[in-house]
Amino acid sequence: MKPVLFGVALALLVSACATTTSPTGRRQMVGGVSQAELDQLGAQAFNETKQKEKISSDGRQNGYVQCVVNALVAQLPPQYRGVRWETAVFVDNEPNAFALPGGKVGVNTGIFTVARNQDQLAAVIGHEIGHVISRHHDERMTRQINAQTGLAVAGLLAGAAGGEGAANTVNQFGGATAQAVFLLPGSRVQENEADVVGQRLMAEAGFDPGQAVNLWQNMMAASGGRSPQWLSTHPDPANRIRELQRDAPALAGVYQQAQAAGRRPKCG
């Protein structure tokens, strides 16, 4: 029976997964877990981070981040725009940020040393939200599930197919997996894609897309020309800056249209 159960579980996984197209036209495999499960895992990882890290009580910083997030979220597709997005500012000198399924955004206070205006902060947060709307967490989770072998995976999939739902999946994966899959950097392909999606998103929200270039230049200058820990698995910084510079002129019209439509964020 064990091989049969495993085969059934794998068949269920394959049938649940789907090939889709990302916002940039890239083919990707998703659907290893449901959106409800992804949202629960995102909330779990976010809550665990809030428990482990010191949260800033600075009202100005929190309001600043929330203002930028609100402006970006207003331009998202309906399924993401309708989510109540929650933000947290962590007291940590490492310039870092993340966004998770379910509408969670975390920003370290260290980001303010390199994101020196609202447009540059929007470049950071837009990039991170770009991961969410490009379904990168779903893609990474699906890839991880596909890589798993053994009866533990069979049990997990059979249980999920039996209707135990999101809570059971979260329970099976546990916080450590949620942290690993959701909070570690994505692949270079995903990081490049999040740059493209995030830069367009910031332009649509009325932030200057050219400031994405300045942001990454500041990031590299702050690290003495070396890639900081946050960027260790990201694309080569020089290539990244060149690509952002290449795309900025094409987004100038999008930015100007947003401004003309009254989308002129005043976050700080």
Per-residue confidence band for 167, with pLDDT thresholds at 50, 70 and 90: very low
Question: Which of 37, 128, 139, 204 does the annotation list as catalytic?
Answer: 128
- Nearest one of 197, 199, 220, 238 to 95, comparing CA atoms: 220
Q: Rounded to a whole number, what is the distance in angstroms from the first to the last CA of the chain?
A: 62
pLDDT at 238: 78
Whether 207 and 71 have beta carbons less than 8 Å apart is answered as yes
pLDDT tens, residue by residue, 113-160: 999 999 999 999 999 999 999 999 888 888 777 665 333 444 444 444
| Residue 128 bears catalytic tag | yes
